[in-house]
Amino acid sequence: MRWRVLNSGCGNPAENMAVDEAIMEGVIKGTSLPTIRFYTWNPPTVSCGYNQEVAKEIDLNLVKQNGYGFVRRPTGGRMVLHEDEVTYAVITKCEGRFSGSITDSYSEISKALLAGFLAMGVNVELERGSLSSAHQRQTTNPCFASSSKYELNYQRKKIVGSAQVRKENVLLQHGSILLDQDQSRLALLLPNLEPEQRDKLLQYLAKKTVSINQILSQPVSFSQAVESFMAGFRKNWGNDDFFVAKELEPEEKKKSEKLVESKYLTDDWNLKK
């Protein structure tokens, strides 16, 4: 398989989600190559999963007061605070190593990311257990509060949170790799919590999550982390071909700009549930 690699750098919430979807549409139509993309967020952003009820699970006034952006993802999963992180996206047809189940594809991608962590000297492990659907639906249970099978942990602390969507035999999996911040600040943004409850959740998230630069004695930058993760993909998918592209294709750029305005900046999408 031939992969295009994109380092998109900083994008705003609507742009980041729109670009992922535009590439996915291109892969469906056959006009875009399978893509591995890395990016980060400006401003720091809270995202919710496709099926979440925003009014019950996030206080948008607190989000705004703290200077964070907000967007609904096209993928499932639960709330994530995107702050000082490396976000990855893998977009490809469900064939070859991705012809199996969602869990199988999670495993393939996590093993490549694991190799990238090891290249940085971060000894992560694959989660071997499974998370019940009831636990995942808990209102005050952000994405990083617990680990699903094949997600990555460091000393039982979650360091990567991922989610996937499939459409017309194409998958989009993206995820947050914590670089400089854990997820504890998310506790400050949840609704209907008494101060004591909020403090307990903050402490719990601090215990359950960890970032790369909280582990390493010599911090790494966003660019250095991306290089390590790309080395991990190349190592694990050694029979594949990778090339680095500087920018989106014109059709992808046009489609993403349209999606920003028609979807990811709208209340109809972001607050639909």
For residue 144 the two structure tokens come to 């990083």
8 A C-beta contact, residue 49 and residue 76: yes
- Helix axis angle for 13-29 and 250-259, nearest 10°, is 130
The span from the CA of 65 to the CA of 188, in Å, is: 11
10, 48, 94, 143: which one is catalytic?
143
The span from the CA of 266 to the CA of 14, in Å, is: 9
Q: Is 143 a catalytic residue?
A: yes
Strand, helix or coil for residue 178: strand
Phi, psi dihedral angles at 141 (to 5 degrees): -130, 80
- Helix axis angle for 222-236 and 102-120, nearest 10°, is 120
**Could you list the active site residues?**
143
